Every structure is written in structure tokens, then in C-alpha cells.
Structure 1
Amino acid sequence: MLKNKLSSVLLASGLMAASALSQAAEVVNVYSYRQPFLVEPLFAEFSKDTGIEVNMVFAKKGLSERLEREGQLSPADLVLTTDISRLMNLVEKDLSQPVDSQSINNDIPAQYRDPEGEWFALTKRVRNIYSTKRSDKPEGITYDDLADPKYKGKICTRSGKNAYNVGLVAAYVAHNGEEATKEWLQGFKENLARRPQGNDRAQVKAIKEGVCDLSIGNSYYFGKMMT
């Protein structure tokens, strides 16, 4: 795989690892799940500060498959990914290698670093619970409550296969165990107002239209929808 390269896998976006790993290089090749307009300003600042050029390959999906095909000939030095499921997919396919960098260890808290040095997390987000503004608006609702029968027919969500929801379920397993998660998911499913569909913002639109009262969506969508 990429064992002949200073490759690492990052969750979210940033250039700390690239900076630490490539001071002597003239070019860093980045494979990114993050859209160009989000990360190019960071790349520009990085190049300005270090003199290192950044070449980026962007794709919404399929980067791990591309890395597998390229094998030892892959030009990739760094992968920027957007969620824990894609991150672990890269690690489990042996497409990354450990990196031991003192600057990374100093700048990134231990809870955001893989113990084996395979990845480094630079930002985090929440799967928010969005709710109706109508008179029956629930107060103080939690993830656990989404399986409560009192919300039967009141919840909208995107596909459970979506990486964001996979990450949420994985976190639920980590905190509560597999059996409790299965029970929670069954209750959640029974409370759906419709078949899972659309993206996170589509669920909030469904609340506005009266299709449901509750939905789940990433925290940054709130700001995006407000503007």
C-alpha cells in the first residue's frame, strides 16, 4: 500500500500533519473528501508559510478504492476525510501508516489522536437533534428519547447507511453496547414518519412542511441554513 510514503489519515480538514511530515518536501499530494473551496484557503496559507506546494485530488467517494488500485505507485502523501467511518475504512484496508510527530502530539490533544498514530482529528461535529417550532415542541430531548414510543411517526432521517449516521450508531455502541444499540435502533425505526430519504437539510425542510417533528443533522448545517 502506501508504506513507502509519509502518509497519514486525518479526520476533518487541516494541514498540521502535512506540515510536520513534509518540511523537506517541495510538494505534498493530498487526497481529499473535503470540497476544494473549503480547504484550498488552508492549502494556500500552508504553501505561503512553508514554500511547499499542495496538489489536491478531490472526490466525494471512492478514494480508498483508488488508493488500493494505485498501491505502491500512489502519489498520495495525505488523506483528508470527513467522518469516522471513512477514516476507519482507510485504516482497516492498511492504506495508512503510523506517524510519530512531536509537533502533532503537542498541538493535538490525545483524545483526538489514534493511539497507534494512524490518524489525527482536527475538528469535530455533533449530530444535532432538530425540532419543530410548533406548540408541541419537545424540550431537553436526547438521543435515547428518539426511541421513545411517544415520538411514534414524528421523526425524519436520512439513510442509515449514510456515513454520518454510521458514525452516530458507532458512538452509541461505544457508549451503550451492542444490545442496547439494537433496541434503540428498533425503537427509532418504529418512530419514523416516513422512509429514510434525502440529506440532513431535507429533514429540516420536512419538519417545516409538517411531515415530522424531529430530525437528526450535523451541527454545521444549522449555520448554513440560517444564512
Structure 2
Amino acid sequence: METEIPALFRARESVAPERFTFHSSRMRMKEVTKEQLEAMDADSTRCAAELSDAAVDVLGYACLVAIMSMGKGYHCESESKLSAVTVENGAPAPVVTSAGALVSALEILGAKRIALVAPYMKPLTKMVVEYIADQGFEVGDYTALEIPNNLDVAAHDPRNLVDTARRLDHSDADVVVLSACVQMPSLQSIEIVENELGKPVISAAVSTAHQLMRALDLPAIAPGAGTLLSGEYADVPYRGLMPTRA
């Protein structure tokens, strides 16, 4: 959240007048296990309260697998719950989860079948695949990179994803998810892979940035980030909840 999301907004600043500030509150997690993910999510209301103290205009919940580990469809519950915290704190703001944003991106792109790359261990990756399938998308081939440590996920070289994508069976996929994790960088490889495969390539970060921009009622554009942020889908309606002051 603190690397590629700001990078995407800075790319937008190169072609649009708006400027942005970024504020963070951390939920602790070191090893990407179901137990630590559940403990992390339990801390999300504290983070929402802290960020709403700054009267931010939109909140982004970065961890896709933390949401998906909490049960199918949980992104809707989380977005509603955390947005309610901002209302109670007198600074109402919409909440975008990377899990919900990825689902929205697939809907916007009209995807029916996808291929996917995730950094997680195989059981967590399977859980992510099942969560996405529950949202109405068929997941064909997928790769689990099996990186257990969260810092190692962040240190993964995004250039390696080009070869990983080449090994995917993407022949009947409408969209390729190059990184189903905001923590694992992929931005510099998105357009390389997209040009090679000849189909839309997205990531959790690109999807999240798109929905954050739309929640701000701004055209969702960022040069160098692939089809979703190319401008073709700049003005599609925001798909989340917009809170009102209590």
C-alpha cells in the first residue's frame, strides 16, 4: 500500500492537476498465515479510527488475503464496518478493500475466466481462488509462489513475474491477475506482460488504485499501469458504499 499505490497516484499527477497526501496506520502481521491474518483483521477498526482522525477522503485496506481469509464475501462486511467507524468518528469516508477492488476490476473488465499469480502458500492461494470463484469468476490456471514471510513478499523482484506469467496457461483467460496481493510488487511488469499476452493484466494494487480514484470522484487514470487505468475505464461508477454523516 505504501509503495505501488502512491506510485500509481504519482503517475496520475503527471497527467492531471490533483495532488494527494498519504496517511498510514498499521495492522501487525509477520508471517502470512490464517491465524495472523485473522488477528490482523481484528485490528482494522483501530486503524480506521486513527485514519479518520486525519479526516482523510478515502481509506484503503491493503491486505487482500486478510479479507479473503475471513470468509466468502467478507469484503462487503469489512467495507461497511470500517466506513461506519469513520462516521462514528465524525469524519465519514468510503473504504476500499483490495479484495473488493479486485472483484470490481474483474467486473469492470467483463472477465468470466481468469488466470492468477499469488505469493501465498498453496492453502492460502487456494482460499483466494475459491473466494474469487464465489464472486462469479472462473479461475483457470494459477501459481502460488509460496513465500511465507511478509517482508520477503515485498522484496520479490517484479521482473520475475514476466516469466511466471509466461508459464501460466492463460489461453482462455479474459484477464490475468499478475499479483493477487498489494504487498507483492508487480507494477513495472504489468504492461510488459499485457503486451506479450494481448489481454488485460491487473494486480491488487492497480485495482485498488482504480477504486480509490473513483471513490474520490476522480477519473481513474495512471500512465504505465495497463488497461484498467489507461483511461478507457476512467469514469465507470464507483462500486462501493458512500457513507453519510451520522
Q: TM-score, normalised by structure 1?
A: 0.31
Please identify the structure whose Cα radius of gyration is greater: 1
